Amino acid sequence: MKDLSAGSIALIVAAGLVLGTFPVYGCPTVLCLLATLVFRVNAPALHLVNQLVSPLQIVMVIPFARLGGRVLPTSGRVSTSILSQVGELTLHAIAGWFCLALPLGILLYLVLWSCFVRRRRRTALHQMEGPAE
């Protein structure tokens, strides 16, 4: 990853983390594929980050569903069908993910980009100084 710019690395990590937590199984892979086409970033690196954060996808379903339940009104009727309960939970989780994904993704990108730029400047300075005698 030495030849990638700080912006590319930050975008790969931020997009992989945000898209990798999408609360529907299988969708993060498709979303990452679309992101590689749109942003023209390194596909294997993005998919690697996506796979590394996949445990977060499972962990974050309930918090996303709770947030989505606050945003979206519930149907009001109690359903005994497991399928309708799972569908409502999934819809709430997706709504909760949408509430957090864009702001956190942008914030994460900006923080990572500034860290990578600072790190590269520091490394370049040390290389210019040369070995201490």
Q: pLDDT of 40-98, one tens digit each?
A: 999 999 999 999 999 999 999 999 999 999 988 876 666 778 888 888 899 999 999 99
Question: Would residue 22 count as lying in a domain?
Answer: yes
Total domain count, the chain: 1
Question: Would residue 68 count as lying in a domain?
Answer: no
The whole-number pLDDT of residue 72 equals 86
Question: Would residue 86 count as lying in a domain?
Answer: no
Name the nearest CA neighbour of 52 among 89, 24, 15: 15
Question: Would residue 40 count as lying in a domain?
Answer: yes
Q: What is the pLDDT of residues 114-126, one digit of tens each?
A: 998 898 888 777 7
| Amino acid in the structure at residue 123 | T
The CA distance from 59 to 76, in Å, is 27
Question: Would residue 46 count as lying in a domain?
Answer: yes
- Domain of residue 122, residue span: 6-61+101-129
The CA distance from 123 to 118, in Å, is 9
Q: Write the CB contacts of 39 (distance below 8 Å, at least 6 apart in sequence).
A: 11, 15
DSSP state of 3: T
> Beta-carbon neighbour count of residue 66 at 10 Å?
13
* pLDDT for 132 beyond 60: no
Q: Is the entire prediction scored with pTM above 0.75?
A: yes
